[in-house]
Chain A
Amino acid sequence: MNLATKDHAELAEQFNKDENRVDWHDETLWWIRQKRDKAAHNIPDWEMLRETASQIKNNVLGNIHQYLLDFEAQAQENGITIHWAADAAEHNQIILGLLQDMGINRMVKSKSMLTEECHLNDFLAAHGIETIDSDLGERIVQLAKEPPSHIVLPCIHKKKEEIGELFHEHLGTPAGNSDPQFLAETARQHLRETFLTRRAALTGVNFAIAETGEFVVCTNEGNADMGAHLADIHIASMGFEKIIPERKHLGVFLRLLTRSATGQPITTYSSHFKKPRKGQQMHIVIVDNGRTAQLGREDFRNSLKCIRCAACMNTCPVYRRSGGHSYHTAIAGPIGSILAPNLDMEKYSDLPFASTLCGSCSNVCPVKIDIHQQLYKWRQVIVQKGYAPAAKKMAMQGMTFMLSNPSVYRAGGKMGRLALKYVPFAVNNGMNPWYKHRDMPNPPKQSFGEWYEKNRGGKK
């Protein structure tokens, strides 16, 4: 799939060619948004919980240097090896080195958006190391050779029939069988063999506790545990913003995370990893990859509070109708649209514009990131840096001239209305994107200004 050369609007237009599919995608995610609402409304102090989480994360971002050092010292004391990676390349290289040192060429990996961000699987494959994703949704998109379209529900864009076909092709299930229970059992058997035979397991990190040096991984399938418990080496990839100060803060986030994500009270497994078992190696790779730059951008800093629940995606009316792949970056949706420009402003200059600024994302965010305000601010930065299309720039300058001069505005408005009335074909044609699915307003005889002049003319 070629996602690189098209922008969000083009990719979204492609997605919208199949309207039934758009409806299905929208309804599926809306159902999850409703489950989230129900879960939130069951907690009377929900808004206070969000505020508490937000303040804890603000504290973390303000003191991140110290918390990271505390975490490192505690983890080392527990017997975990800490690695620091400045960027994706260094992260990938560290992991490759660890595997090569142990002569390992096959690894099982549970869900980690950071490894998506770093394109770890492709990098390892190029060096002869096979990675199998053990999260069911991740495994499905891996079999389909696609990136995940959603950070919590990686294959939410796939219908069960398509998954049945993939399993038929790759796992030998009977053609035409798309019974979810049957397919899940097939995946279970397939992954069991993987868990039993892989000597290396990689997991993500949901929360890293500075006080104790332990980290917490949340899954619904127990796949992180199955991989890590059997492997000789457990590697955890962690963006540096995953720190929380103390263990007592964990309850705040565990209560918010899954209620926001899927409407469940808590993930089935919230696994604490504190030290390697006897004979096992445990490593944490702490990754920057642009996070320091984002920390330095005052207007965008608090995007690093994100706990990757995807509530902003599920609620976003644009995401639901354009699909995760239309964002052409590892983390889609509203949060992805404020994170991605930090990594490559030119490549992702379209994303902050893929929003109506409706504000629903900020309302559901469990750590109160002002997502839609940041989308607005990124638009200003992107234009100032010169990444706006030339035609748009000209249109905006023309509009500014008209709206900054009352007499030009009145004359222009009148001409516009007359044109709509007498030469409608000048605007009602294929050149006008509005007209593709919508009619233009009927032009009135007079503007309000003209009416006021006639009817209240004596006044001021």
Chain B
Amino acid sequence: MTVGLFIPCYVDQFYPNAAIATLQLLEKLGVDVVYPKNQTCCGQPMANSGFEHLTGGCNKLFLENFSGFDYIVAPSGSCVLHINEHLHDDADPEAAHAVAHKVWELTSFLTDVLKVKELDASFPHKVGVHQSCHGQRGLHLSSMTETVCAEFSKPGSLLNMVKDIEIIPLNRADECCGFGGTFCVAEEAVSSKMGKDRVADHLIHGAEYITGADMSCLMHMEGILHRQGSNVKVLHIAEILNGGEHLQ
């Protein structure tokens, strides 16, 4: 099985450790991973701002870089959802559709494709889990508090395989952090308030780390934590699943 590693643009530029952990984790689990060099971005920043018509270049690049793989895996629910829903090619719609549905978010790839049952990782800390909306409500990585169904969580089941980790409860299990792409600057006041409220929920429950499957939400919360002078850190879930304690 050869997996094409799709690293979101802002993770590539600002959070390389999340990408390195994703790569190492997949390699440890016996997957042959290739990172196509000429990838850039899924096009979501433009599309969510109403400029989907400008994403032709991103779509073309994505198809050029990833068409040959059995699976494409990314450490982000949001970018994967965007590709699932919007990757297209007017010249060959079926081929683009096939590629769009080979794209997997990391934690669901681990639970549903690799069927991971154990991990060699330990993380003796109090950890708050942020449910990123696009992964949760878009890709159904976890059950949602609004809907009536049996509870489940793909990221949660993986974190449960990590030794000594303590997952803290939250008052609002799945409220949005307010990042929202260009929303974070276009609607600065509401966006920051949402971020502050989300962070506060983790802090009052004693989190030492906040983790999740989307670095964009974590970047937003990190920006607020830094500004407040907090020692609480954000960490992509791949970094915990990839061993955790090596980071200390």
CB-contact partner of B146 in A315, A383, A393, under 8 A:
A315
Bound-state CA distance A327–B63 (Å) is 40
A22 to B191, CA, bound (A): 13
Contacts A16-B190, A447-B16: A356 and B176 contacting too (C-beta < 8 A)?
yes
B19 touches A459 (CB 8 A): no
Are B180 and A438 in touch, CB under 8 angstroms?
Answer: no
Known contacts: A26-B197, A403-B43, A444-B14. The answer to whether A318 contacts B187 by CB under 8 A is yes
User: Do B190 and A12 have beta carbons less than 8 Å apart?
Assistant: yes
CB-nearest residue of chain B to A13: B189
B54 interface neighbour in A37, A43, A397, A433, Cβ under 8 Å? A397
A399 within 8 A of B: yes
Q: Are A321 and B193 in contact (CB under 8 A)?
A: yes
Task: Check if B115 is an interface residue, CB within 8 A of chain A.
Answer: no
Chain B residues with CB below 8 A from A180, complex form: none
User: When the two chains form the complex, which single residue of B180, B196, B223 contacts A434, counting CB atoms closer than 8 Å?
Assistant: B223
Given contacts A403-B41, A409-B40, contact A417 B13 (CB under 8 A): yes
Q: Is the beta-carbon distance between B50 and A321 smaller than 8 angstroms?
A: no
> Can you name the residue of chain A whose Cβ is closest to the Cβ of B41?
A403
Q: Is A392 an interface residue (CB 8 A)?
A: yes
A436 adjacent to chain B (CB < 8 Å): yes
Q: Which residues of B contact A451 (CB under 8 A)?
A: 16, 19-20
A24 in contact (CB, < 8 A): no
Known contacts A317-B178, A400-B57: A47-B149 contact under CB 8 Å: yes
B133 adjacent to A357 (CB under 8 Å) = yes
How large, as a class, is the contact surface on chain A?
Answer: 35 or more
Tell me the nearest residue of chain B to A26, going by C-beta.
B197
Residues of B within 8 A of A376 (CB): 47-48
**Chain A neighbourhood of B61, CB < 8 A:** 404, 406
Contact B227 A380 (CB under 8 A): no
Encoded as 1 (CB less than 8 Å from any B CB) or 0, chain A from 36 to 76 comes to 01001101101100000000000000000000000000000
Q: Which residue of B9, B146, B183 is within 8 Å of A363 (Cβ)?
A: B146
* Interface of A: prevailing SS: helix
A413 at the interface (CB under 8 A from B): yes
**Could you tell me the distance between the alpha carbons of A321 and B175 in the complex, rounded to whole angstroms?**
13
Task: Indicate if the CB atoms of A437 and B188 lie closer than 8 Å.
Answer: yes
The complex places the Cα of A41 from the Cα of B43 at a distance, in Å, of 38
CB <8 Å contact, B186 and A353: yes
Interface membership of B184, Cβ < 8 A? yes
B148 touches A403 (CB 8 A): no
CB contacts (< 8 Å) of A452 on chain B: these are 23, 35, 37
Task: State how many angstroms separate the Cβ of B128 from the closest Cβ of chain A.
Answer: 17
Does any Cβ of A come within 8 Å of B39's Cβ? Answer: yes
Contacts of B97 in A (CB 8 A): none
- Interface status of A128 (Cβ within 8 A of chain B): no
Cα distance, A230 to B175, chains bound together (Å): 47
Verify if A449 is at the interface (C-beta below 8 Å from B). Answer: yes
CA–CA, A13 to B47, complex, Å? 25
Docked-complex contact B227 and A437, CB < 8 angstroms: yes
Judged by a CB distance under 8 angstroms, whether B212 is at the interface is no
Q: Is A83 an interface residue when CB atoms closer than 8 A count as contact?
A: no
B 185-209 to A, binary, CB cutoff 8 A, 1 in contact else 0: 1111111111111000000000000
Q: What CA separation (Å) do A380 and B178 show in the bound complex?
A: 21
Contacting A438 at CB < 8 Å: which of B145, B148, B195?
B195
Q: Which residue of A lies closest to B175 (CB)?
A: A317
Chain B residues within an 8 Å CB radius of A47:
147-149
Can you list 24 A-B contacts with CB-CB less than 8 angstroms, sorted by A residue number?
A: A12-B189, A30-B172, A322-B190, A356-B176, A356-B178, A359-B137, A360-B133, A363-B146, A380-B50, A383-B51, A396-B46, A396-B51, A409-B40, A413-B12, A417-B13, A434-B184, A437-B188, A437-B224, A444-B17, A447-B13, A448-B11, A448-B20, A449-B37, A452-B23
The 5 closest A-B pairs by CB, nearest first: A404-B57, A438-B223, A356-B180, A379-B50, A383-B50
